Amino acid sequence: MEAGTGSGRRRSLGRWAALVLVVGFVALLAYGLQAKGTNDEIDSALADGRAPRAPAFALEVLERGDLPPRLERAIGPAFADGRVSPAELRGTPVVLNMWASWCTPCREESPRLRAGWERHGRAGVAFLGINIQDLRGDAREFSREFGLTYPSVRDARRGVADRYGATGIPETFFVDARGRVVGHVIGVVSQEQLEAGIRAARTGRVAGTVSGGDSFDVR
C-alpha cells in the first residue's frame, strides 16, 4: 500500500515537473518573441485612423545638409549641438526616411527623395534621413554620390528604427507639425506615395501605412 502511494506521488511530482518545464518554455518563447518582434504600435494606430506621437530620439548629426532660408529659421538651431530630436522639429512637417549605404533599394529611391526635398524644402517641409547600422564614411559618400542635401542623423544600432517598427529599409514616415506620425511607406517610396505623405504631414490628416517597392529586411 505504501509502495503504491509512493509510486503515485512520484508520478504526480513528475507531472508537475513536466508542467513547470512546459510553462517555463512557453514563457521564454513569449519573452523572445516580444523582445525580437516587430513593434507595430504606429501601424496599428494608423490603421485605426489615429496619428500616434512620433517616438522620441536624440541622434548624432551625420550630415547637416543645406537648409533653405525658411527651414533654417525654423529648425536650424536644432543642429547646433550635433544631435537632433523630434521635439526640436516640432512646428514643421517632416519626412523621415530610414536608409543605409549598403541598402540597394535605397539607391533606387534616392533621386526621388532629392527631387522631393528640392521642391518641398523651400515650402517648409523638412526631410531627415535616419542612417542605420552604417559606417559614417560610407554613409557620407552615399549622400555625396546621390547629391542628397537634406540632413541625416545616425542610428548606429537601429534602436530608433526598432521603436518606429521598421522591419527593413528603406522605410519612410511622415510626421505632422504637431509631432504625430500620419503616414508610413514600407519599401521604396513612389512619387505618388511621397506626395501623398507630404500632404498628410502638412495637413495632419492620417494617410495610413502602405507598401512601396523593394526593401532590405534587417530584422
pLDDT band at 39 (very low <50, low <70, confident <90, very high): confident
pLDDT band at 219 (very low <50, low <70, confident <90, very high): low
| Residue positions counted in the chain | 219
What is the spatial distance between Cα 33 and Cα 74, in angstroms, rounded to a whole number?
A: 41
Average the pLDDT over each of 29-33, 97-101, 120-124, 206-210 and give the range with the smallest value: 29-33
pLDDT at 203: 98
What is the spatial distance between Cα 74 and Cα 89, in angstroms, rounded to a whole number?
A: 8
Q: What percent of the chain has a predicted confidence (pLDDT) above 90?
A: 79
Cell of residue 101, nine digits = 549605404
User: For 55-99, what is each residue's pLDDT tens digit?
Assistant: 999 999 999 999 999 999 999 999 999 999 999 999 999 999 999
pLDDT at 134: 96
pTM for the complete prediction?
0.83
**Does the structure show a pLDDT above 50 at 147?**
yes
Q: To 10 degrees, the CA torsion angle through 199, 213, 133, 130?
A: -10
User: For 172-218, what is each residue's pLDDT tens digit?
Assistant: 999 999 999 999 999 999 999 999 999 999 999 999 999 999 998 76
Q: Which residues contact 48 (CB under 8 A, 6 or more apart)?
A: none
**Does the structure show a pLDDT above 80 at 8?**
no
What is the spatial distance between Cα 157 and Cα 49, in angstroms, rounded to a whole number?
A: 31
Q: Angle at CA 157, nearest 5°, toward 152 and 161?
A: 65
What is the spatial distance between Cα 191 and Cα 151, in angstroms, rounded to a whole number?
A: 20
**Does the structure show a pLDDT above 80 at 170?**
yes
The answer to whether the beta carbons of residues 39 and 162 sit under 8 Å apart is yes
What is the spatial distance between Cα 126 and Cα 96, in angstroms, rounded to a whole number?
A: 9
What is the spatial distance between Cα 152 and Cα 87, in angstroms, rounded to a whole number?
A: 16
